[in-house]
């Protein structure tokens, strides 16, 4: 694959990891009591969420941002290579 395609794929995966996975983790990973229902304060809920899912969510978000940066660099390099090819004089 050429570097432009790889860059676009990395940006798509990075966007999912940094945005989609983070929002999904916050919305769908519930941290409630096991067994009988017991009221949980918001502070306890977020403390439990951080202990169970917070660190891995932050790590995956960082990986997503790194993939986006790498993808943007690949796109930038591919753009420069195309402009260099356009400047080469054509001999007929």
Reported confidence tier of residue 56, pLDDT bands at 50, 70, 90: very high
pLDDT digits (tens, 9 = 90+) for 73-90: 988 887 665 555 456 566
Which residue pairs, CB below 8 angstroms and at least 24 apart, start in 20-25?
A: 21/57, 21/60, 21/61, 21/64, 22/57, 22/60, 22/61, 25/53, 25/57
Domain boundaries, the chain: 3-31+40-87
Distance CA 10, CA 27 (A): 25
Reported confidence tier of residue 5, pLDDT bands at 50, 70, 90: confident
Reported confidence tier of residue 3, pLDDT bands at 50, 70, 90: confident
What was the pLDDT predicted at 63? Answer: 96
Span 50-73, average pLDDT: 92
């Amino acid at each position: 694959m050429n570097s432009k395609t790889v860059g676009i794929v990395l940006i798509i995966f990075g966007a999912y990891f940094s945005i989609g996975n983070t929002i999904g983790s916050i919305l769908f990973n519930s941290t409630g009591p096991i067994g009988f229902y017991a009221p949980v304060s918001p502070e306890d809920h977020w403390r439990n969420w951080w202990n169970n899912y917070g660190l891995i969510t932050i790590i995956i978000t960082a990986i997503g941002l790194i993939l986006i940066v790498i993808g943007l660099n690949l796109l930038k390099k591919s753009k420069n290579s195309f402009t260099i090819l356009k400047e080469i004089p054509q001999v007929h």
